[in-house]
Each structure stands twice: as structure tokens, then as C-alpha cells.
């Protein structure tokens, strides 16, 4: 089976997204501890951010799996086509 590798720019974008999310979650925790803002509101927003990030990662993984399946499918179609061409014109 052929495995699709993501372009470096996509990998970098994903890494940046994950890093930024982690930084925001740490900052939210620190802000909630200072008492300057309502901690429940901060934690609620942080949970929403975590949920969005998890959804993003899940969608990326599903898309990658779909790409892998598509490449495998068309690779097999090409192999079947070559086989029939060989059989028909041999």
C-alpha cells in the first residue's frame, strides 16, 4: 500500500497550530490562576479550544486516511489496467 506523505508546509502548519494551542492553554491556565478574570469562563474557553483542536486533528487524520485509500485505489486500478492490456495484446 502506498502511504501519502504530507508536504512539509502542511506539516509545519499543523505543528504551528498545535504549538500555538498549547501556548494558549498554558496562558489560559496562568490567567485563571491570577484571579484577574473569571476562572470558570477561562476554563470553559480553554475546553472549547481543546475540543476544536481535537476536532481539527481528527479531520486531518481522516483526510490523510482518505488520501491513502485514494492513492491505493488508483494504484490498483492502474495495475489491473496494465494486466488487462498485457492479456489482451499479448
pLDDT tens-place string over residues 10-61: 888 889 999 999 999 999 999 999 988 899 999 999 999 999 999 999 998 8
Whether residue 46 is contained in a domain is answered as yes
pLDDT tens-place string over residues 73-85: 999 999 999 999 8
Helix (H, G, I), strand (E, B), or coil: what is residue 88?
Answer: helix
The residue range of the domain holding 19 is 8-65
User: Domain count of the chain?
Assistant: 1
Whether residue 16 is contained in a domain is answered as yes
Whether residue 25 is contained in a domain is answered as yes
What is the Rg, in whole angstroms, of the alpha carbon atoms belonging to the chain? Answer: 23
Query: In angstroms, rounded to a whole number, what is the distance separating the alpha carbons of residues 32 and 36?
Result: 7
Helix (H, G, I), strand (E, B), or coil: what is residue 58?
Answer: helix
Whether residue 50 is contained in a domain is answered as yes
Whether residue 79 is contained in a domain is answered as no
By residue count, the chain amounts to: 90
Amino acid at each position: 500500500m502506498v502511504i501519502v506523505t504530507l508536504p512539509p508546509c502542511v506539516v509545519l502548519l499543523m505543528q504551528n497550530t498545535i504549538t500555538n494551542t498549547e501556548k494558549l492553554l498554558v496562558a489560559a491556565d496562568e490567567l485563571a490562576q491570577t484571579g484577574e478574570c473569571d476562572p470558570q469562563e477561562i476554563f470553559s474557553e480553554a475546553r472549547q479550544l481543546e475540543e476544536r483542536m481535537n476536532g481539527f486533528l481528527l479531520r486531518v487524520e481522516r483526510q490523510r486516511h482518505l488520501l491513502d485509500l485514494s492513492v491505493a485505489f488508483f494504484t490498483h486500478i492502474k495495475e489491473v489496467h496494465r494486466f488487462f492490456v498485457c492479456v489482451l495484446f499479448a
